[in-house]
């Protein structure tokens, strides 16, 4: 009986958690419908609510914004908007910090979170997975002797919290796995290991 109960849990728990996460995401994105007049809400058009319409509207707004910002006029508008926000106290510092982080994480030519690493943390001899986020900058690099890299060490099973470390490049090991595989390994607390990759042996 116990074995059957555990088997049932292993089937239902991932399904329920997945459904709950998707529900939270869809309900959050559906708040975009408040940007539309009440008469255009699905509830008023069809007599009932349609979950996910707000999520589609959010994606459409993001795509349209990217399309608009990609042309000459859009680039000028973006520069004007950035200049306007930079003149507002408090908003300026918050917006700049968030923009720098988002540019680093989502820029196509950025290296943040593009490599999975193996580092010794929290003590020598204990190993964990980290992600390369860049290199130390500003005045910090003036106080570090040698070649250092910036890494993010996530916690498990919630990788959105973690620790930011600056380590010698010689102390980190670059892993032959994708960031997605590394995240799955962290979230599963080491249960879902990435598949081994065949090593190419060159003839001598």
DSSP-derived secondary structure for 70-137: TSHHHHHHHHHHHHHHTTSTTHHHHHHHHHHHHHHHH-TT--TT--EEEEE-SSTT-EEEEEEEE---
Residue 42 lies in a domain: yes
| Tally of structural domains, the chain | 2
102, 31: one domain: yes
pLDDT digits (tens, 9 = 90+) for 89-113: 877 777 777 776 666 666 655 556 7
Token digits for 163? 């620790």
152 compared with 53, residue with greater pLDDT: 152
| Cβ-contact 115, 141 below 8 angstroms | no
78, 137: one domain: no
Residue 168: its pLDDT value, please?
A: 94
53, 80: one domain: yes
pLDDT digits (tens, 9 = 90+) for 57-85: 888 888 888 887 777 777 788 788 888 88
pLDDT digits (tens, 9 = 90+) for 162-196: 899 999 999 999 999 888 888 888 888 888 888 77
76, 137: one domain: no
153, 65: one domain: no
């Amino acid at each position: 009986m116990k074995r059957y109960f555990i088997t049932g849990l292993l089937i239902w728990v991932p399904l329920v958690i997945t459904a709950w996460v998707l529900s939270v995401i869809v309900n959050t994105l559906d708040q975009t419908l408040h940007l539309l007049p009440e008469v255009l809400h699905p509830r008023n058009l069809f007599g009932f609510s349609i979950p996910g319409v707000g999520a589609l509207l959010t994606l459409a707004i993001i795509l349209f914004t990217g399309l608009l910002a990609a042309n000459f006029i859009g680039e000028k508008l973006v520069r004007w908007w950035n200049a306007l926000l930079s003149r507002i106290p408090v908003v300026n510092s918050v917006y700049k910090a968030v923009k720098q982080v988002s540019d680093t994480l989502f820029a196509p030519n950025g290296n943040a979170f593009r490599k999975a690493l193996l580092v010794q943390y929290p003590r020598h001899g204990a190993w964990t997975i980290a992600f390369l986020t860049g290199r130390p900058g500003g005045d910090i690099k003036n106080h570090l002797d040698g070649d250092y890299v910036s890494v993010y060490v996530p916690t498990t099973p919630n990788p959105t919290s973690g620790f930011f470390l600056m380590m010698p490049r010689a102390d980190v090991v670059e892993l032959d796995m994708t960031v997605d595989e590394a995240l799955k390994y962290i979230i599963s607390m080491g249960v879902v290991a990435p598949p081994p990759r065949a090593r190419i042996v060159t003839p001598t």
